[in-house]
């Protein structure tokens, strides 16, 4: 798939659906692939490229960048069709960032990208506390490390 076309899909969805919903103060809104395709065709988008539209609308890149969560997807089980309707809600954590005034300039690049440090913190935060019970079984972190570094295979010996 052509990434330039996916970017075009995301930009038009942002302009025609996401920003108007935010400006209207809506916490939830929907995007129908069929309607979005009409806007895209007016900009020269290939008419039979609806799978790329469905994929771009449901991509993590689109969701994270715009502070969105998918509430549901109406349509066939494959979630790939011109009849697909994607239902979104604004992420509660991103709500303060999404307060856009009508005077502000709205562009597809208005939302800041996640920095590598933020990404690392978000990803490593999921690991926090994962080994808590294991450490406790060995009498703490130092005892666990001593066991790991030792040649003992039996932790109770």
Quote the pLDDT of residue 57: 94
Greatest C-alpha distance within the chain: 73
CA angle 40/14/46 to nearest 5° reads 15
Give 88: exposed, middle or buried? Use CB within 10 Å, 0-12, 13-18, 19+. buried
Q: How confident is the model at residue 19 (pLDDT cuts 50, 70, 90)?
A: very high
What is the enclosing helix (H) or strand (E) of 71? Answer: strand 68-74
CA dist., res. 57 & res. 60, Å (int): 9
Give the pair of three-digit tokens for residue 28: 């939830």
Q: What is the pTM of this model?
A: 0.58
Task: Of 9-13, 120-124, 134-138, give the lowest mean pLDDT range.
Answer: 120-124
Quote the pLDDT of residue 16: 93
């Amino acid at each position: 798939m052509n990434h330039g076309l996916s970017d075009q899909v995301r930009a038009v969805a942002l302009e025609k659906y996401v920003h108007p919903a935010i400006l209207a103060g809506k916490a939830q809104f929907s995007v129908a692939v069929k309607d979005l395709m009409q806007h895209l065709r007016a900009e020269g988008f290939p008419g039979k490229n609806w799978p790329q539209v469905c994929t771009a609308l449901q991509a993590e890149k689109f969701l994270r960048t715009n502070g969105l969560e998918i509430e549901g997807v109406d349509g066939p089980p494959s979630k790939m069709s011109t009849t697909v309707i994607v239902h979104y809600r604004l992420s509660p954590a991103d709500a303060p960032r999404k307060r856009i005034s009508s005077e502000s300039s709205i562009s597809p690049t208005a939302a800041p990208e996640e920095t590598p440090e933020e990404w690392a913190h978000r990803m490593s935060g999921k690991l926090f506390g994962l080994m808590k019970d294991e450490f406790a079984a060995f009498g703490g972190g130092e005892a666990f490390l001593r066991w790991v570094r030792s040649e003992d295979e039996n932790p109770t010996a």
